[in-house]
Amino acid sequence: MSKKQSRRTRRFARKLANRCITLLESGKWRVMYIDMDGRPEVCLPYGLDHKAVGTCDYAKKTLFIDFRRDVISTLVHELLHARFPDWPESLVAEREKTVMEYLSPRQARKLHLAMGRWLAVPGE
């Protein structure tokens, strides 16, 4: 990849990360930590396989994240689903990888802070 392409990709990835941050900061979506290994009922409507570490519930505007996995990467992945519901899984996974490759420390901090404001656990 040329330097020009690399800069363009970095700009694109960071812009996409900022869209995810903005969506999370808006308070329209909340994040819930769950144990995905137990296959909670929230997973049932989606037919998630045993490797899933998160899911996006559009009706409840909730992102369910397995707290024992790579939380930031999973959060970005599920925010992309929330922000772009028409994107196929393969495109979301590709964009997640790109965002994570170019995510700045400041953006990572903003994701952590925004997630903390809207974070819940089952039973709360």
Task: Enumerate the β-bridge partners of residue 33.
Answer: 65
pLDDT tens for 33-92 read 887 776 666 666 666 666 788 888 898 898 989 888 899 999 999 999 999 999 999 999
Q: How confident is the model at residue 2 (pLDDT cuts 50, 70, 90)?
A: confident
Q: Are strands 119-120 and 54-57 parallel, antiparallel or unpaired?
A: unpaired
Query: Global pTM?
Result: 0.87
> Measured in Å, how far apart are the chain's first and last C-alpha atoms?
48
- d(C-alpha 124, C-alpha 116), whole Å: 14
Three-state secondary-structure class, residue 85: coil
Task: List, in order of start, the domains of the chain with CATH numbers.
Answer: 3-120 (3.30.2010)
- Point out which residues pair with 56 in neighbouring strands: 63
pLDDT level of residue 120 (50, 70, 90 thresholds): confident
